[in-house]
């Protein structure tokens, strides 16, 4: 590594020493000097120097100002920015005047107004007056790039940040610059909407108000809002986000760049699904099943009485179905109430979870620096944990080999090899750990399906030690959370239970099968902690006050009636859990960007069976996956409807060749008497012998399928 | 005992002289003294000549307001419901008159001259809630309760926009 190799240069008379290869913009920043930029964004790959805002006088070099963002610091370089060089100041002033020639002065109407780099830099570096006396160009606006993004061509300064993101980071290649010169416009191909899981990032990248969010359109101005730092609870990555709130409502979600977790990117699910807080069918009062009269909204006092009655009548024969989206505190509180107060130890977890991978714990950013990344498990990473897909893509761009089929030689031969397991057969990471140990990997990830499955599991096991047999028949089934309420396995369990208590946000999910529905809250309304797929404990903050008391508040009230001591404050509850599970870190010290705990020492040999292989002879193995844009919250955000998966089946190229199927062709997938007709999509990210279909279209298909044209 | 008895007589002479002058007290509710043309009273929102509202709901008045008494909620104009020229209009525009200090910063901040401070000062109410002026109240042509002084009688400067346009 050349980390110690440095160069010394002078910027505005300040000598500064930076590591070799540092860009001039960063080098100037190290000297405390700002070089203004619009198009420069290191996360988007090599600089393009499109906006010319960073013009500086640089020696040695040609006797004219140069774009500083495209240059790296060299030994003995003398850089003079607008602060000390009249030439550079003149150039920057002229650049801004040129950009503003056709930029409309509609800042009072523009959503970016107040947080706009063009406004700020014009104020600091630009001309105070305009010489442009002709009418400015006007275009039709706003142009919908997708139902989520509106384009204003008049405001665009052609910095190409958005197209560079689309091409070079998300690699969806959908957003391009069409036409040339002054007629250049940002557009998608044809009239197709920008349909991609990361499309919302271009809104945040745009340095002017050219690409704006349709959901945030005219909702608030920057001086009226409050950004609350929290963590996204829609997938196991746990991206750090800022929830912009105004007058007690979440108006948008922005990224809060945790360089080890998300690198400042967000997926559209995390960015736009906040609207589920105002879903039409949100449960705001407890609902009780009343004989002959159907369902009735009741007061909280009455609801707690009923809940107590249900719990006492069940006589300990209680099963709790958890959804993996509860905070650690909630799961612990529920566990403590049910296990210590009622001796009901049986819980139904949404998925397996294991601490075996803690020995291979690395931050997600380690994927970027790996030489070999093995992505196994057959389920699409982007549908479960979208940001991990971006890390894998970044690794590939940096020259890593990305394997979708285990090639032990390549993995063993690599200096740093990372394993990402996404799909069935991981056993919560236990089998992945066995594999990682055998291959001597530097890091391994298991991608769970739920946002906090690991935390819920840990919290539940912390709440008591005793064990008991599963009750039969089930006296009371407690369904905690919407994901559990939507889970068909939980529904099947409810058929067998005498009574059902559902905690849910949405009436559509809870009504009809529950004896008592208690209103739930969303991750944006809770204070608490989540554990992400790396094993990082992250802090959720309450961004808005929910319309109903949060779970912890009423669980603690209920616990009083069963003589269980339980605080309604997440900080105190976390302290109890932390003492057992997280080495006693206090709630207040988790911090805004929480660090990753060190990897535990190699655990005792875990002996488990091999990972489930494709044990299907003849034909193909069907892997069904839950699409990214699905789930109770996303279904209630209609702006995201266009992102729902297409009726497609993913096939590997080898299989397609042997079957004679071309990309886009209609195929029939048949198994055990049922068949589905879907469009074939060839994928390089799939190993032979596997066909991938989303849950929306897989229907009744069994794991062993046959394909015909 | 006063050391200088003549001084009290002098004082009473002043009082006595006033008896023959016209009183300067103005019988306020009956007589309303004209205000200066640039007096800062109750706000008004304005319309363009074609009837569209000048306000675009940019909230700059709310940002400038030191008393934090303005609340603006904007919405998008649609072809069916065009309230202001351009893309955006104020769906809600409220001024809490009980908090307003009549500094006129909102007027200065407004990029479209949509809000100005008028001449009225008689805005007391029996309830605090009634002091929250809505957009409809601010847009309505106010009843002239207060006479405005004759512009020519006062030495007021010419507004900058008449001078520089």
Q: Are A93 and A53 in contact (CB under 8 A)?
A: no
Residue B165 clears pLDDT 70, i.e. is over it: no
Residue of B nearest to A111 (CA): B58
Angle at A212 between CA B74 and CA A274, to 5 degrees: 75
Q: Are strands A674-683 and A648-652 parallel, antiparallel or unpaired?
A: parallel
pLDDT, tens digit, 9 for 90 and up, residues B19-57: 888 888 888 888 888 888 788 999 999 999 999 999 999
Asked if B69 is an interface residue toward chain A (Cβ–Cβ < 8 A), one would say no
Q: What pLDDT score does A3 carry?
A: 55
* Better-scored residue on pLDDT, A351 or A255: A255
Residue A675 clears pLDDT 80, i.e. is over it: yes
Number of CB pairs, chain A paired with chain B, less than 8 A apart: 36
Asked if B113 is an interface residue toward chain A (Cβ–Cβ < 8 A), one would say no
DSSP H or E stretch at residue A305: helix A300-314
DSSP H or E stretch at residue A80: strand A78-80
Query: How far is the C-alpha of B140 from the C-alpha of B133, rounded, in Å?
Result: 11
DSSP H or E stretch at residue A146: strand A143-146
Distance from CA of B38 to the nearest CA of A (A): 26
Asked if B59 is an interface residue toward chain A (Cβ–Cβ < 8 A), one would say yes
Q: Minimal CA–CA distance to A620: which of A549, A692, A564, A681?
A: A692
Residue A469 clears pLDDT 80, i.e. is over it: no
Q: What are phi and psi of A108, to 5 degrees?
A: -65, -25
Residue A170 clears pLDDT 90, i.e. is over it: yes
Q: What pLDDT score does B8 carry?
A: 87
Distance from CA of B61 to the nearest CA of A (A): 11
Asked if B75 is an interface residue toward chain A (Cβ–Cβ < 8 A), one would say yes
Share of chain B above pLDDT 70, in %: 85
Facing A218 at nearest CB: one of B62, B88, B111 = B88
Query: How far is the C-alpha of A237 from the C-alpha of A535, rounded, in Å?
Result: 10
Start-to-end CA distance of chain B, whole Å, equals: 72
Q: What pLDDT score does B38 carry?
A: 83
Range ranked top by mean pLDDT from A432-446, B92-106, B111-125: B92-106
Facing A109 at nearest CB: one of B62, B63, B86 = B86
Q: What are phi and psi of A177, to 5 degrees?
A: -95, 115
Helix (H, G, I), strand (E, B) or coil at A72: strand
Chain B residues close to A109, C-beta within 8 Å = 56, 58, 86-88
* Better-scored residue on pLDDT, A36 or A437: A36
pLDDT band at B149 (very low <50, low <70, confident <90, very high): low
Other C-beta atoms lying within 10 Å of the C-beta of residue A695 = 13
Facing B56 at nearest CB: one of A109, A141, A217 = A109
Residue B153 clears pLDDT 80, i.e. is over it: no
Residue B105 clears pLDDT 60, i.e. is over it: yes
Q: Are strands A78-80 and A66-67 parallel, antiparallel or unpaired?
A: unpaired
Q: What pLDDT score does A354 carry?
A: 82
* Better-scored residue on pLDDT, A605 or A232: A232
Q: Do B58 and A113 touch (CB under 8 A)?
A: yes
pLDDT, tens digit, 9 for 90 and up, residues A82-119: 999 999 999 999 999 999 998 998 899 999 999 999 99
Q: Do B63 and A221 touch (CB under 8 A)?
A: yes
β-bridge mates for residue A67, sequence order = A55
Share of chain A above pLDDT 90, in %: 67
Q: What pLDDT score does A611 carry?
A: 47
Q: What pLDDT score does A614 carry?
A: 46
Q: Which of A:119-178 have CB within 8 Å of B?
A: 141-142
pLDDT band at B155 (very low <50, low <70, confident <90, very high): low
pLDDT band at A618 (very low <50, low <70, confident <90, very high): low
Which candidate in A140, A215, A218, A249 is best for mutational testing of the B interface (most B CBs within 10 A)?
A218
Share of chain B above pLDDT 90, in %: 58
Range ranked top by mean pLDDT from A428-437, A498-507, B146-155: A498-507
Query: How far is the C-alpha of A558 from the C-alpha of A308, rounded, in Å?
Result: 7
Chain A residues close to B60, C-beta within 8 Å = 108
Facing B88 at nearest CB: one of A109, A141, A223 = A109
pLDDT, tens digit, 9 for 90 and up, residues A55-85: 999 988 888 999 999 999 999 999 999 999 9
Residue A10 clears pLDDT 70, i.e. is over it: yes
Start-to-end CA distance of chain A, whole Å, equals: 53
Encode chain B in three state secondary structure: CCCCHHHHHHHHHHHHHHCCCCCCCCCCCCCCCCECCCCCCCEEECECCCCCECCCCCCHHHHHCCCCCEEEEEEECCCCCCCCCCCEEEEEEEEECCCCCCCCHHHHHCCCCCEEECCCCCCCCCCCHHHEECHHHHHCCCCCCCCECCHHHCCCCCCHHHHHC
Distance from CA of B111 to the nearest CA of A (A): 7
Within A442-542, strands assigned E span 443-446, 476-480, 499-504, 516-519, 528-531, 537-540
Chain A residues close to B57, C-beta within 8 Å = 218
Q: Do B59 and A217 touch (CB under 8 A)?
A: no
pLDDT band at A393 (very low <50, low <70, confident <90, very high): very high
Question: Is domain B32-156 classified as CATH 2.40.110.10?
Answer: no
Residue of B nearest to A214 (CA): B76
- Return the structure tokens found at A516: 């008592």
Q: What pLDDT score does A407 carry?
A: 85
Q: Do B62 and A106 touch (CB under 8 A)?
A: no
Range with the poorest average pLDDT among A25-39, A301-315, A342-356, A592-606: A592-606
Average pLDDT, chain A: 90
Token pair 């106010």: residue: B142
Q: What pLDDT score does A151 carry?
A: 95
Distance from CA of B109 to the nearest CA of A (A): 11
- Return the structure tokens found at A454: 């690991």
Facing B59 at nearest CB: one of A106, A142, A224 = A224
Q: Do A221 and B111 touch (CB under 8 A)?
A: no
Chain A residues close to B86, C-beta within 8 Å = 106, 109
Facing B60 at nearest CB: one of A108, A142, A219 = A108
Distance from CA of B58 to the nearest CA of A (A): 5
Asked if A106 is an interface residue toward chain B (Cβ–Cβ < 8 A), one would say yes
- Return the structure tokens found at A151: 């384009």
pLDDT band at A234 (very low <50, low <70, confident <90, very high): very high
Range with the poorest average pLDDT among A593-602, A642-651, A673-682, A694-703: A593-602
pLDDT, tens digit, 9 for 90 and up, residues A290-299: 887 788 899 9
Residue of A nearest to B86 (CA): A109
Residue of A nearest to B76 (CA): A218
Q: What's the average model confidence in pLDDT over A264-277?
A: 94
ipTM of predicted complex: 0.84
Token pair 């009837």: residue: B51
Share of chain A above pLDDT 70, in %: 97
pLDDT band at B140 (very low <50, low <70, confident <90, very high): confident
């Amino acid at each position: 590594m050349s980390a110690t190799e440095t160069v010394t240069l002078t910027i505005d008379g300040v000598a500064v020493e930076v590591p070799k290869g540092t860009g001039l913009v960063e080098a100037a920043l190290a000297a405390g000097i700002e070089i203004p930029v619009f198009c420069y964004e290191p996360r988007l790959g090599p600089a393009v120097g499109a906006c010319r805002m960073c013009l500086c006088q640089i020696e040695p070099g040609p006797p004219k100002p140069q774009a500083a963002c495209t240059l790296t610091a060299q030994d003995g370089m003398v850089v003079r920015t607008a602060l000390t060089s009249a030439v550079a100041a003149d150039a920057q002033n002229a650049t801004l005047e040129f950009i503003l020639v056709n930029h409309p002065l509609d800042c009072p109407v523009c959503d970016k107004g107040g947080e706009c780099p063009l406004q700020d830099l014009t104020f600091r570096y630009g001309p105070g007056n305009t010489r442009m006396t002709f009418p400015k160009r006007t275009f039709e606006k706003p142009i919908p790039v997708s139902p989520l993004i509106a384009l204003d061509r008049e405001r665009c300064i052609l910095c190409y940040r958005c197209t560079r993101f689309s091409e070079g980071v998300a690699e969806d290649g959908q957003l391009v610059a069409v036409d040339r010169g002054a007629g250049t416009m940002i557009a998608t191909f044809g009239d197709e909407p920008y349909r991609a899981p990361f499309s919302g990032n271009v809104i945040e990248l745009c340095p002017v108000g050219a690409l704006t969010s349709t959901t945030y359109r005219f909702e608030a101005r920057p001086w009226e809002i409050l950004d609350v730092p929290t963590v996204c609870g829609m997938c196991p990555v746990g991206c750090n986000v800022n929830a912009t709130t105004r007058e007690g409502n979440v108006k948008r979600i922005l990224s809060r760049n945790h360089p080890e977790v998300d690198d400042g990117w967000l997926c559209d699910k995390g960015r736009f699904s906040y609207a589920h807080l105002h879903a039409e069918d949100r449960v705001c009062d407890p609902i009780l099943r009343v004989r002959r009269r159907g369902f009735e909204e009741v007061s909280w006092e009455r609801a707690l009485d009923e809940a107590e009655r249900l719990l006492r009548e069940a006589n300990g024969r209680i099963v709790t179905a958890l959804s993996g989206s509860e905070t650690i505190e909630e799961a612990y509180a529920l566990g403590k109430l049910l296990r210590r107060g009622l001796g009901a130890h049986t819980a139904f977890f949404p998925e397996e979870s294991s601490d075996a991978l803690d020995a291979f714990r690395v931050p997600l950013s380690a994927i970027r620096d790996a030489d070999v990344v093995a992505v196994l498990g057959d389920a699409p990473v982007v549908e479960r944990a979208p940001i991990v897909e971006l890390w894998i893509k970044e690794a590939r761009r940096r020259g890593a080999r990305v394997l979708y089929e285990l090639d032990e030689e390549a993995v063993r031969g690599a200096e740093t090899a990372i394993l990402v397991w996404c799909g069935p057969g991981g056993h919560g990471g236990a089998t992945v750990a066995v594999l990682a140990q055998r291959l001597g990997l530097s890091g391994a990830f298991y991608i769970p399906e739920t946002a906090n499955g690991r935390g819920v599991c840990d919290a539940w096991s912390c709440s008591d030690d005793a064990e008991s047999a599963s009750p039969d028949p089930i006296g009371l089934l407690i369904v905690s959370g919407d994901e559990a309420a939507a889970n068909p396995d939980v529904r099947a369990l409810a058929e067998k239970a005498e009574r059902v208590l559902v905690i849910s946000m949405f009436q559509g999910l809870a009504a009809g099968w529950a004896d008592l529905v208690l209103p739930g809250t969303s991750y944006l309304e809770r204070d608490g902690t989540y554990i992400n797929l790396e094993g990082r404990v992250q802090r959720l903050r309450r961004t808005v006050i929910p319309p109903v008391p949060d779970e912890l508040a009423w669980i603690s009230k209920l616990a009083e009636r069963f003589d269980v001591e339980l605080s309604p404050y997440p900080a105190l509850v976390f302290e109890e859990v932390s003492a057992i599970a997280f080495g006693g870190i206090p709630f207040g010290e988790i911090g805004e960007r929480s660090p990753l705990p060190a990897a535990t020492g190699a655990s005792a040999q875990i002996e488990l069976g091999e990972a489930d292989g494709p044990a299907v002879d003849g034909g193909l193995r069907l892997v069904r996956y839950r699409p990214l844009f699905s789930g109770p919250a996303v279904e209630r955000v209609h702006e995201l409807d266009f992102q729902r998966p297409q009726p497609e089946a993913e096939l590997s190229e080898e299989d397609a060749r042997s079957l004679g199927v071309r990309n886009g062709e209609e195929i029939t997938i048949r198994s055990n008497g049922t068949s589905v007709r879907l469009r074939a999509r060839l994928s390089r990210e799939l190993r032979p012998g596997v066909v991938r279909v989303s849950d929306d279209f897989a229907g009744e298909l069994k794991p062993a399928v046959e394909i015909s044209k | 005992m006063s050391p200088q008895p003549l001084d009290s007589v002098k004082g009473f002479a002043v009082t006595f002289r006033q008896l023959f002058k016209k009183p300067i007290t103005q019988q306020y509710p009956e007589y309303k003294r004209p205000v200066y043309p640039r007096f800062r009273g109750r706000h008004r929102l304005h319309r363009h000549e074609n009837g569209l509202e000048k306000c675009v709901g940019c909230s700059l008045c709310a940002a400038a307001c030191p008393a934090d008494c303005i609340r603006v909620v904007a919405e998008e104009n649609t072809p069916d419901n065009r309230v202001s020229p351009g893309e955006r209009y104020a769906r809600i525009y409220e001024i809490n008159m009980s908090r307003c200090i009549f500094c006129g910063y909102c007027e200065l901040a407004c990029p479209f001259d949509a809000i100005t401070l008028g001449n009225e000062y008689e805005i007391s109410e029996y309830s605090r809630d009634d002091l929250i002026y809505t957009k409809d109240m601010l847009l309505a042509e106010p009843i002239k309760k207060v006479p405005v002084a004759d512009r020519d009688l006062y030495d007021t400067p010419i507004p900058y926009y008449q001078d520089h346009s």
